[in-house]
Amino acid sequence: MAQNNPERAILFIIDGLHVEAPIKLEMPNFSKLSKQGSLIERTYGIMPYHPTHGEYAEVHTSSYPNPVMMTGTIFLEPNQRMLQHSFDNSAFVANTSSYQSITEGYQFVVQKDGPDKFSVDKAIRILDGEDLDFIRVHLQAAGGAGYQSYTADDDKPYKYNIWDEESPYTDAVREADKQLGRFISELKKIGKWEGTLLVVTSDHGQTKTGWHPILPEESWQFPTIFYGPNVKEGSTLEWGDQIDIIPTIAHLMDVQIPNADGGTGRILYNLITGESNNSPSSSRLLKFNRILARYFTIRAKMLTNSSKHPYLNSSVMLYEREFYGLNRIMDWNNLKSIDSLNNHNEQIVDKMKKELNNAIHQE
């Protein structure tokens, strides 16, 4: 572990940040910080699914990416350790009340609907008055603005187009970038900039048509910046997994990684000065999501073709028992590792594809 650990860690989240937003919308503060620290161009998160009933909904109040990020693993369970449990004095600030289930373990919690400025104001006030080890600051407006583009009236030019200049999304992202710059400036004023590890990321991506449906890959991708002591300056990684963020923060802060199981991410050593690059060749979460997407597509085709081949409907019912889909997130740990989960699900999808093709060729 490198010397001179950061004095505090700040996880700064811009909700629903499109992976291309820093380029398309010219986010000057984000771009400046990315050159001063290390940029992960594409961070792959879990599909942003949000069940409102069932076992998951009994535990969590937000979509999958938020508890997955904070636990650092895709293997979720009730009463699970999250990053805040590794610190003595931590705070959670969000301009929404949607994240109640991931706030246990913080010494200070502020959740209230309002503009992004509210989150920054409250975070600075707490940081100025308290000697925090860790704070998560969540800016919600961009995510909500993407949803507004998706649900806009048909006569609005930004209907299904977040990049339109009149889109509420472009305004929200630029405001979030403004607040990021103000946050950094205020940290300097109160003497809390030096020695700070700042991680700027998102909870999930955004589609160009607005919101975060589960199948488009835009929904799974977003950029991430690491800045601070022991982080390489001016480094760029093509990709990382969302589950890598928390283990890397814990490593840099020299605290316990909240979970060490088969669903846990890796430490991004290649962001750290003097450490070797041990990156695998591809993202495990990207592979996992793509297998899920294949399953949804093939399943839909099997059901559609079951009008001609009724047995396909029966087969779908049987495959659903074996497949560890989105609705079975609390069971994913049965497979012990992400690689085993991917291999298991991929084998089932291949069987489904073969059976569908055989049925079509019989026509």
Q: Has residue 322 got a pLDDT over 90?
A: yes
* Beta pairing, strands 8-14 & 196-201: parallel
pLDDT in tens, 130-162: 999 999 999 999 999 999 999 999 999 999 999
Residue 352, amino acid: M
pLDDT at 329: 98
Nearest CA to 324 out of 306, 310, 312, 336 is that of 336
Is a pLDDT exceeding 70 seen at residue 1?
Answer: no
Pair 132, 8: CB distance under 8 Å: yes
| Residue at token pair 């022991």 | 230
Residue 77 DSSP SS3: coil
The pLDDT mean for the chain works out to 96
Average pLDDT, integer, range 51-71: 96
Beta bridge partners of 336: none
Residue with tokens 């835009």: 218
Q: Find the mean pLDDT for residues 215-220.
A: 98
Q: For residue 238, what are its two tokens?
A: 């093509």
- pLDDT(277) > 80: no
User: Running DSSP on this structure, what letter comes out for residue 256?
Assistant: -
β-strand partners of 225: 39, 200
pLDDT higher than threshold 60 for residue 275: no
Provide the whole-model pTM.
0.96
Answer yes or no: are the C-beta atoms of 182 and 119 closer than 8 Å. no
